[in-house]
Amino acid sequence: MNTQTANKKQEVAQETMRITGSEAIIRCLLAEGVDILYGYPGGAIMPVYDELYKFRDQIHHVLTRHEQGAAHAAQGYARISGRVGVAMATSGPGATNLITGIADAQIDSTPIVCITGQVFSHLLGTDAFQETDIIGISTPVTKWNCQITKAADIPEVLAKAFYIAKSGRPGPVLIDITKDAQVSELDFKYEKCTGVRSYTPVPKTNPETLTAAAELINSAKKPLIVWGQGVILGQAENELKAIIEKAGIPAAWTILGASALPTSHPLNVGMVGMHGNYAPNMLTNECDVLIAIGMRFDDRVTGSLNTYAKQAKIIHFDIDPAEIDKNVKTDVAVIGDSKDSLAKLLPLLNENKHADWLQKFEDLYAIEFEKVIKDDITPTKEGLTMGEVLRQINIESKGNAAIVSDVGQHQMIACRYAEFTTTKSNITSGGLGTMGFALPAAIGAKMAAPDREVVAIIGDGGYQMNIQELGTIFQQKAAVKIVVLNNEFLGMVRQWQQLFFDKRYASTEMTNPDFVTIAKGYYIEGKRVTKREELAEAIKEMMASKESYFLEVCVEKEDNVFPMIPAGASVSEIRLS
């Protein structure tokens, strides 16, 4: 330790204050740079809310209309900004309502810290009013969790919570704080956490693996990159771009990797997976070296593993050693931080073009365009399509909007057709597939990045799963643009029923309310579009609005999303119709 840091530590020590646990919680949040948090008060967290009232000039608490909304809003905040999102709830039902958002953040590696109130410690285990074992319940879906029963533990545990949520492969952390810990006093001083001895956030990269990876890539005739969210979380967008440009490698993305590279980049060959693009899926089974970067070979990406890229050598870059060989056996595994690994890989690569190989992607894109894309985005049939809505949004946004999508057909269409110029712009529930995600996540995204256009694209099913958050949008004056693509069906399930269950539409048809009137009930300007000739103007009006705006587009009821890899089929068995 040098003298400077020693002095600094001493200074901090001198700043010790005698305060309550709840004030300590707020001071910890401030020390971590938290400016906004999302939550819902209740009995066991009231002392903290009392402090939030006192600190209301420094920290903005957003009252959502449901704790699930708070968790998703924290996720939206984290996804667009890269900072830690914070959600707060009371004990019992308040805490359990956070769980879906926490599980979503766990599987999508989103850094959030959830703080829950808990009954007095002497009541733990007595089935007290609103007591629930939230530590037990949240264990399988958190990166870390901890219950605090003593005020004195608050600073250290919260510092650890933020450190763990953000570092390495990010994830959700839940801290449960008993009411007695909130009301009793402690000598407060805050020191940021810089390490936990049992935890290695970023494993050291073995330089030999980088050399081996470079050798394989340099000798490849038909290399293919598939990148995931690891590029965004590791802020490795520029490094990725430099690599594909230098080595002339076509690069495809998983749903959570979208926007790390502009959609218009000539080497961006589209999305992989069940409803991804034709070329990267087909050519996954033709490439000679598959370079996976910060992705985890999810089953929706790989289809049947027995027929996935069997001809290729596999290189896997990941920060999480547990991902290596989990689903796909790798030939070279480069464990480490994506930015660092890719930066070190770059000088080892030869310049290359792979012109013939790239031509194959263009040829297959032409087929997909002719058979699918053209009719999706510039349809000639009578009914409106989801694809043409996305096309109009692209025209108005010039690819600069952040697109927050829910789960289902509209999500696949949004991810397939949204144009992106900026990273961290595709916010969607990828791993968990949580319907109801988009509306609250869009609130969090808009509040974290008020200067950005945030467009939520939601189906009529998912919209009604957290429709109450219109109240939050109204109260916070969050200028979120909401597009509901209404086909009066749970469209993706209906599509499967049509394709695999002989059109037995069991419980997928929805009789919907008047969505525009509901929006107006929350004083949100809105419009319904049923005809093609109204669409362009309506989207223009929505995008021009300075305030939140609701647009319902009544689309064709029984359109299907193609291409499609049927569940359990090979990526090269992708269907265009």
Partner 1 sequence: MNEEIKTFTISIYTENNIGLLNRISAIFQRRHINIESLTTSQSEIDGVNRFVIVVNITESQAKKIIGQFEKQVEVIKAYYHKDEDTIYTESCMFKIKSSLLFEEPQIQNIIKESNARIVTVNKEFFVLEKSGRRNEIESLRRDLNVFGIMQFVRAGRIAVTKDEMKVTEVLMAFNNHNN
Could you give the CA distance from residue 191 to residue 28 in angstroms, rounded to a whole number?
Answer: 9
Least gap, CB of 237 to partner 1 (angstroms): 25
Minimum CB separation of residue 75 from partner 1 in Å reads 20
Among residues 527, 523, 569, 532, the alpha carbon closest in space to that of 552 is found at: 527
* DSSP codes, 520-558: HHTT-EEEEE-SHHHHHHHHHHHHH-SS-EEEEEE--TT
Can residue 322 be called a binding residue for partner 1 (CB under 8 A)?
yes
For position 326 contacting partner 1 by CB under 8 A, the verdict is yes
User: Could you tell me if 182 and 154 are in contact, meaning their C-beta atoms sit under 8 angstroms apart?
Assistant: no
Q: Which of 120, 130, 156, 371 is catalytic?
A: 130
The smaller minimum CB distance to partner 1, of residues 1 and 506, is found at: 1
- Active-site annotation holds for 179: yes
199 near partner 1 (CB under 8 A) = yes
Q: Which stretch binds partner 1 (CB under 8 A): 189-197, 251-259, 411-419, 545-553?
A: 189-197
Residues 64, 147, 330, 385: which binds partner 1 (CB under 8 A)? 147
Residues of the chain by 3-state class (helix, strand, coil), percent to 5 = 45, 20, 35
Q: Is 492 a catalytic residue?
A: yes
Binding partner 1 by CB under 8 A: which of 325, 370, 509, 537? Answer: 325
Residue 64 vs 338, nearer CB to partner 1:
338
Residue 150 in the binding site for partner 1 (CB under 8 A): no
Helix (H) / strand (E) element for 62: namely strand 60-63
| Residue 167 beta carbon to partner 1: minimum distance, rounded to whole angstroms | 10
Helices marked H in 19-166 — which ranges?
21-31, 46-54, 67-81, 93-107, 134-138, 154-166
Of the pair 33, 140, the CB lying nearest partner 1 is at: 140
Is 130 known to be catalytic?
yes
C-beta of 135: minimal distance to partner 1 in Å? 6
Sign of the dihedral defined by the CA atoms of residues 180, 183, 187, 192, in that order: positive
Which residues 152-171 are close enough to bind partner 1 by CB under 8 A?
A: 164
Q: With respect to partner 1, which residue has the nearer C-beta, 88 or 164?
A: 164
Residue 465 known to be catalytic:
no
User: Cβ atoms within 10 A of the Cβ of 329, count?
Assistant: 11
Q: How far is the CB of 134 from partner 1 (least distance, A)?
A: 11
User: How far, CA to CA in Å, does 184 sit from each of 294, 326, 486, 493?
Assistant: 44, 46, 52, 52
Between helices 21-31 and 154-166, what is the axis angle to 10°?
30
Residue among 282, 492, 542, 543 flagged as catalytic: 492
**Distance, CA of 442 to CA of 69 (rounded, Å):** 10
* Catalytic residue list contains 543: no
Residue where the block lists tokens 């056996």 = 329
Contact region with partner 1 (CB under 8 A), list: 192-200, 291-299, 392-400, 492-500: 192-200
Of 15-23, 76-84, 179-187, 318-326, which segment contacts partner 1 by CB under 8 A?
318-326
Nearer to partner 1, 126 or 200 (CB): 200
Asked if 386 and 559 touch (Cβ cutoff 8 Å), the reply is yes
Q: Is 5 in the site for partner 1 (CB under 8 A)?
A: no
Asked whether position 320 contacts partner 1 by CB under 8 A, the answer is yes
- DSSP secondary structure letters along 420-453: -SSSS-EEE--SS--TT-HHHHHHHHHHH-TTS-
**Structure tokens belonging to residue 431:** 């791993």
> CA-CA distance, 199 to 144, in Å (whole number)?
11
Q: In whole angstroms, what is the distance from residue 28 CA to residue 540 CA?
A: 43
Which of the residues 112 through 141 are near partner 1 (CB under 8 A)?
135-136, 139-140
Omega cis (within 30) before 280: no
Is position 568 an interface residue for partner 1 (rule: CB under 8 A)?
A: no
DSSP string, 473-515: HHHHT---EEEEEE-SB-HHHHHHHHHHSTT--TT-B-----H
- Is residue 194 close enough to count as binding partner 1 by CB under 8 A? yes
Which residue's CB is nearer to partner 1, number 160 or number 339? Answer: 160
> Which lies closer to partner 1 via its Cβ, residue 325 or residue 363?
325
CA distance 413 to 406: 11
Quick check: 1 binds partner 1 (CB under 8 A)?
Answer: yes
**Dist CA 59 CA 53 (whole Å):** 9
Closest to 354 (Cα-Cα) out of 231, 211, 225: 225
Q: Is 321 in the site for partner 1 (CB under 8 A)?
A: yes
Torsion of CA 259, 263, 265, 270, to 10 degrees: 100
109: contact with partner 1 by CB under 8 A? no
Is residue 65 at the binding interface for partner 1, with CB under 8 A as the rule? no
Catalytic residue among 179, 344, 424, 446: 179
Q: If binding is defined by CB under 8 A, does position 284 make contact with partner 1?
A: no
User: Which of 23, 51, 67, 552 is an active site residue?
Assistant: 67
Q: Kindly tell me which of 323 and 469 has the beta carbon lying closer to partner 1.
A: 323
Closest CB to partner 1 among 36 and 333? 333
> Does the footprint of partner 1 cover residue 324 (CB under 8 A)?
yes
Q: In this chain, which of 61, 66, 72, 143 binds partner 1, going by CB under 8 A?
A: 143
Catalytic residues: 67, 129-130, 179, 492
Binding site for partner 1 (CB under 8 A): 1, 135-136, 139-140, 143-147, 164, 194-199, 320-326
